[in-house]
Amino acid sequence: MKKFLAICLFLCSTCCFAKKSEHQEIIHLNQATLEELLTLDGIGQKKAESILQYRKEHQHFDQIEELEKIQGIGPKLIQKNLLRLAL
């Protein structure tokens, strides 16, 4: 039983680490798809769609900080994802 639990814990931990590492890719705001935006911390379907809508209306982002112009996105959310964001 202990061996079984140890194996389960090992498998669960490797799954969690693998999933986290696959979401460390850089997200280019001017090219990102909805699916890519959804990998950012704190970005759900509605915010991701709002980012795409803003990009469509303004052709592109000039600065990452422009995300603050989108309702529901503030400096804390940007800071949380800053290492993964690029233009």
Structurally, at CATH architecture level, domain 26-86 sits in: Orthogonal Bundle (1.10)
Among 51, 50, 4, 58, smallest CA distance to 28 is for 51
> Would residue 59 be called left, alpha or beta, if left means φ above 0 and alpha means ψ between -120 and 50 degrees?
left
Among 42, 13, 38, 15, smallest CA distance to 27 is for 38
The predicted-structure confidence for 8-34, as pLDDT tens digits, reads as follows 455 554 444 444 445 589 999 999 999
| Average pLDDT of the chain to the nearest whole number | 84
C-beta of residue 85 within 8 angstroms of C-beta of residue 66: no
Q: Using 50, 70 and 90 to split pLDDT, how confident is the model at 39?
A: very high
pLDDT at 5 over 70: no
Cα dihedral 69, 51, 48, 13, rounded to 10, equals -80
